[in-house]
Amino acid sequence: MTPDHSAPTPKPALTADDFAGIMRERDAAHRAYNDALTALDRAIQHLRDLPAPPPAFDEHQISPLNNRWELLSLRRADHRGWLHRVRNHVWAMLAPLFERQQEFNASLVDHINRNAAVYREAAHGLGELLTVCREELARLVAFESTLVQYAQQVTPYVDANDRYAAALSTTLAESIQALSDDARKRWESMAARDRRYQAQVDEVRGTLGVAHHAILTLKRELEQRPAAGAPASADADRAAPPAASLDSYKYVGFEDQFRGSRDDIRDRLKMYVPEFEGRQDVLDIGCGRGEFLDLLREQGISGRGVDLNDEMAAICRSRGLDASAGDALGYLLSLPDASLGGLFASQVVEHLEPGYLMRLLETAFHKLRPGSKIILETVNVACWSAFFSSYIRDITHVRPLHPDTLRYLVAASGFQRVDVRYSAPVPDAAKLRAAPVPAGSGDVAALAAAFNHNVAQLNDLLFTALDYAVVGERS
């Protein structure tokens, strides 16, 4: 399909209404910003006068109080005459009053002394607090003024960045447009060259297809020229069909045990059915138990099979499938040219001698209609796990076929658009596992990295896809 090289649809230009709407949004944003800046400026606080700290505690009466609170010390000891007796008599009457008064004086003086210390500390602390508040309020007013100055610089800063961004955007847009125009011109030139090249390739491919077809036709006619009764050549011996060296029923049991159940084979072969969609008269070479013929019938595609094993062909016929027992090459030679709409062979080509396989491919080319496909599935011997298990387990296998080899043989037989498709990947659980790489760049980490590199290489050799199919198209 020709790629679409048309240029992308440009975006519509900015309309006058769109621009007017953007301007209205910008003006509204400016008004809102100016209003907010004005409100912020008006909200700046002013440093107020704070009250003076309280006066110092009046302590000029503290010392006299501490010196005069005792009353009982006024009593004098006088042991002479009648005056002593009078004093004792009077003191005996007045002593309880003086004792209570002295207790009151002691409590009052102690209370005054204690509160004097507290008042002194409170007055000092309040003075310090007023000093700190005055300093912090001054700093707050200075910060608010600085904040307003910062807010006033936001608009010029943003405007300068907008002008820079606009200039840069214009420069980049012009550069991108220039690069885009240059890339578009180069793309158009490359597309034109690609179309010319594709036309030339198609022309050469068609010419080669006609020439190859003529060569194969000439080769077939030359091979048919020897007179009847002439001795067979060594090449003819090498092109002989594979011999049925095992009893038919034994090989049916071998497939049942090692190749898989009928449902397993159907699931594996489903992927090839869409290649024959819309085709009829598809031939399944080596049809086996008829799994692929079943799939074709379910999709309304007429198909027939041929198998060298009589027992296999009988199983197919018992299920209502069109299958014959016989040699594949002989069966193909009996068909008219361009009578097949497709050819399929699963796990067959590894049973054939090289000469026989090449004759089979050349004959298939003549028997297929133009546009028909040939699909040859086989064991992927490039995967060592498949070679040492699936391939060598079957004693009827004759020659392993590397994917590159079979692809070349199909292409050399005249088929075009030949590619290789791999299937049945080995599960990750069966592969070699990499070692965890420790953090850092020490010797242990380097050793683990080298080990994992070797593990990846071994996995690429041992555990890839178990099967592959070569798909070609008759031009």
Asked if residue 299 and residue 180 are part of one domain, the reply reads: no
Please give the Cα distance from 81 to 62 (Å, whole number).
41
Query: Is 12 inside a domain boundary?
Result: no
Least confident of 78-92, 210-224, 272-286: 210-224
- Give the angle subtended at the CA of 373 by the CAs of 371 and 375, to the nearest 5°: 170
Least confident of 129-133, 312-316, 467-471: 129-133
Least confident of 104-113, 133-142, 153-162, 347-356: 153-162
SS3 39: helix
Query: Is 128 inside a domain boundary?
Result: yes
pTM: 0.51
Query: Is 155 inside a domain boundary?
Result: yes
Asked if residue 238 and residue 176 are part of one domain, the reply reads: no
Asked if residue 277 and residue 186 are part of one domain, the reply reads: no
Residue 25: per-residue pLDDT: 86
Query: Is 211 inside a domain boundary?
Result: no
Query: Is 26 inside a domain boundary?
Result: no
Asked if residue 246 and residue 185 are part of one domain, the reply reads: no
Looking at 191, 220, 251, which one is the last position of a domain? 191
Asked if residue 164 and residue 106 are part of one domain, the reply reads: yes
Residue 232: per-residue pLDDT: 47
Residue 348 · residue 378 · CB < 8 Å: yes
Asked if residue 326 and residue 266 are part of one domain, the reply reads: yes
Higher pLDDT, 227 or 420: 420
Neighbouring C-beta atoms of residue 73, cutoff 10 Å = 8
Which among 349, 348, 353, 351 is positioned nearest to 396, based on CA atoms?
351
Q: What average pLDDT is seen over the chain?
A: 80
Looking at 130, 156, 191, which one is the last position of a domain? 191
Query: Is 196 inside a domain boundary?
Result: no
Residues 6+ apart with CB under 8 A from 40: 147, 148, 151
**Rounded average pLDDT over 346-354:** 92
Beta-bridge mates of residue 419: 471
Query: Is 238 inside a domain boundary?
Result: yes
Asked if residue 443 and residue 317 are part of one domain, the reply reads: yes
Asked if residue 263 and residue 166 are part of one domain, the reply reads: no
**Rounded average pLDDT over 280-286:** 96
Question: What CATH number should be reported for the domain holding residue 434?
Answer: 3.40.50.150
Residue 236: per-residue pLDDT: 44
Q: How confident is residue 379, by pLDDT bands cut at 50, 70 and 90?
A: very high
Reply yes or no on whether the pLDDT at 192 is more than 80. Answer: yes
Asked if residue 95 and residue 163 are part of one domain, the reply reads: yes
Q: How confident is residue 325, by pLDDT bands cut at 50, 70 and 90?
A: very high
- How many distinct structural domains can be found in the chain? 2
Paired sense of beta strands 416-425 and 368-379, if any: unpaired
* Residue that the structure tokens 């809102």 belong to: 32
Asked if residue 337 and residue 248 are part of one domain, the reply reads: yes
Looking at 163, 191, 219, which one is the last position of a domain? 191
* Residue that the structure tokens 């070797």 belong to: 454
Asked if residue 313 and residue 366 are part of one domain, the reply reads: yes
Reply yes or no on whether the pLDDT at 274 is more than 90. Answer: yes
Range of the domain at 43: 38-191
Query: Is 16 inside a domain boundary?
Result: no
58-117, pLDDT tens digit by residue? 777 777 878 777 777 655 555 567 777 777 777 777 778 777 887 888 888 888 888 877
Q: From the centroid of its chain, how far is CA 447?
A: 28
Beta-bridge mates of residue 342: 282, 373
Asked if residue 173 and residue 92 are part of one domain, the reply reads: yes
